[in-house]
Amino acid sequence: MKTQSGGSRSGRGRVKSGCRTCKLRKIKCDEGRPACSRCISTGRVCEGYGIWGGGGAVLSNHLQLGLSTGSTPCMLIPQSLAVVPTAMAASTSEEKLVFEWFRNRAAKKLQGSLVLNFWDTLLLQASLTEPAIYHAVLALSCVHKQNPVSTEPGGSSGSAPDEHEQFTLRHYVQAIRHLQPHFASHDRPSLRIALITCVVFVGLDFLRGHFRAGQLHLLKGLKIMQDVGLVSNQEDGIIYWRPCRQPTDDWIVEAFSRLQLQVELFRHSHSHPCLVILRAPEPEIPDICAFRSFNEAWQILTQLFNKIFYLTHQARQRTDAKLEFPPLVEQHHHIREQLSLWLAAYEQSKEALSQDGPWYNGRIYPLLSAYHTMACIMADTALRPDDETAFDKHTSSFIMLIIQLAGLWSVALITSHIQALPGHSLDMHRSVIDIGWLPPLFFVATKCRVHRIRLQAVRLLESASHREGIWDATATARVARKLMEIEEGDFYQDLDAMDDFSLTRSPGPQELLLPVLPEERRIREAEVIFSGAPMDRILLYCKQRIGGSEARVLLSEYDVASQQWTDR
């Protein structure tokens, strides 16, 4: 190897590897672990090799303290290390303002009802040290900071939309450019950096309305996780996640699992290739002890949803749905038992979980309760995926679900003064990357054929103007309203439907006396596709019997610009 002669600064090459301390000092690092010899011999604190290992005692102790106490500090890098983060060294004043928005606002809001270590700890730390992640975070923060945003093609109601878009695209491109060396190296630390950036890209694409690109990024991330060994290879629609040696790996997998959950919820109503992430070994539901946190309850409920998705997928593969298949029946019983155990543990946890504060008790507790109610309906109907009348036996559960969701709307109205925006304008400050109340509302609006209940769900959807990952409130409201109008038609025109009611009022006995929609009027296998980047059309497909066989047909198409449906 050639060495540079002389000791002048101009004779030294750029330091492309090594710990952060040696990089800042522009000297060659011996890359010793956990701390390099160069730093140790001079009494300096070795800052480690990015977020993936190494580092002196100060950083190591601080990190261990954060993990062992279960806390989620805003920064794992101790304030005593008075160095400029490498990723931010050349930032402009505008970039610093956008990053501060992310640190103080977006990072807390975008994760929604969960406090995932990925969003609360890992992403912020990684963005301070890795340029690819830093630029991806700037792009995401810029989208979240702009408010309100018009999703109509060529329009915006926010200030200086062109500047916002240019800023977002500029840092999106820079993030991709900084990722190239990591993809070229193919080592484990580099692929981890790529995975963190990929999660940000998925969230960024979803919030911008680039739903197809977001799903492609998600699939790419799942493939990388398999290649790097964070999860096992896919087998018939299942990816198995086993606990990793490093907590950060589990945080990454958990973030991907949450994103895949919302995509599966979005596609649950129609047949599609199933892809779920299941933990192995399966996490245990406490029989007597309460859940220690909302996150723990969410994690186990997520596993149960994934099992329901997979069971429904298997049932769709059966050529004769009338014949009971013992393995599927056994899975069905197991899921129902697990849901009962979950509810018992959750109810027992209420007092302990309420110590997290009134916000959690008033919003998060009923939100998880609503998801449990939805999961129970989905589990009970999983073995009959082609039978839309199977949902008629669950009217009482749908009533419970709409009461839970209306209660959430009341809390949000009091605390946030929510107000629907005109047309397809988005409230980005209320938008999140994780799921909230939109999926269960859409589920009620499309699967409950009791007019009063589904109408309340549709109106609640129409009161929202935000996004929850792939779930767009305005778009799902349009679809829910369209499905209801197509199915009901003139069926209730000569009956007193008593449609004048408050969004917070529970359905009364008289309002539930209307006849339930007959089977021949119901749409089967409703499939929704958000087309365009950003979304400019909504395509609504369904299954119809044509010439003695089932066919996928385009039912109607919605144009975002004109806000009009065109039936096919």
Residue-wise pLDDT tens digits, 134-173: 999 999 999 998 876 665 544 444 444 578 889 999 999 9
Please report the pLDDT score of residue 8 as a whole number. Answer: 39
Half-sphere exposure of 339 (CA within 13 A, CB side): 24
Lowest mean pLDDT among 152-156, 255-259, 295-299: 152-156
pLDDT at 9 over 60: no
Please report the pLDDT score of residue 394 as a whole number. Answer: 97
Interstrand relation of 276-279 and 238-241 (parallel, antiparallel or unpaired): parallel
pLDDT at 84 over 80: no
Quick one: fold of 1-71? CD2-Gal4 (4.10.240)
* Start-end of CATH 4.10.240 domains in the chain: 1-71
pLDDT at 370 over 90: yes
Please report the pLDDT score of residue 401 as a whole number. Answer: 96
Angle (nearest 5°) at CA 429 between 425 and 434:
100
pLDDT at 60 over 90: no
Local confidence band at 110 (pLDDT 50, 70, 90 cut-offs): confident
Alpha helices for 82-187 (secondary structure H)? 93-101, 107-109, 117, 123-129, 131-145, 161-185
Q: Between these two residues, 137 and 545, which has the higher pLDDT value? A: 137
Task: Choose among 203, 254, 224: nearest CA to 428.
Answer: 203
Tell me the C-alpha distance between 353 and 463, whole Å.
29
Local confidence band at 437 (pLDDT 50, 70, 90 cut-offs): very high
What are 387's two structure tokens? 């039978």
Residue with tokens 């009901």: 488
With 0-12 / 13-18 / 19 or more C-beta atoms within 10 angstroms meaning exposed / middle / buried, residue 212 is middle
Write the single-letter amino acid at 143: V
Please report the pLDDT score of residue 517 as a whole number. Answer: 92
pLDDT at 7 over 50: no
Local confidence band at 387 (pLDDT 50, 70, 90 cut-offs): very high
Local confidence band at 188 (pLDDT 50, 70, 90 cut-offs): confident
Q: Between these two residues, 5 and 370, which has the higher pLDDT value? A: 370
First-last CA distance in the chain: 70
Max mean pLDDT range (89-98, 188-197, 287-296, 406-415)? 188-197
pLDDT at 551 over 70: yes
CB distance 288 to 243 below 8 Å: no
Please report the pLDDT score of residue 227 as a whole number. Answer: 85
Tell me the pLDDT tens digit for each residue of 470-506.
999 999 999 999 999 999 999 988 887 778 888 889 8
Tell me the C-alpha distance between 474 and 91, whole Å.
36
pLDDT at 332 over 50: yes
What is the mean pLDDT of the segment spanning 319-340? 83
Tell me the C-alpha distance between 457 and 442, whole Å.
7
What is the mean pLDDT of the segment spanning 506-531? 92
Please report the pLDDT score of residue 279 as a whole number. Answer: 87
What is the mean pLDDT of the segment spanning 449-471? 94
Please report the pLDDT score of residue 116 as a whole number. Answer: 81
Residue with tokens 């896919």: 234
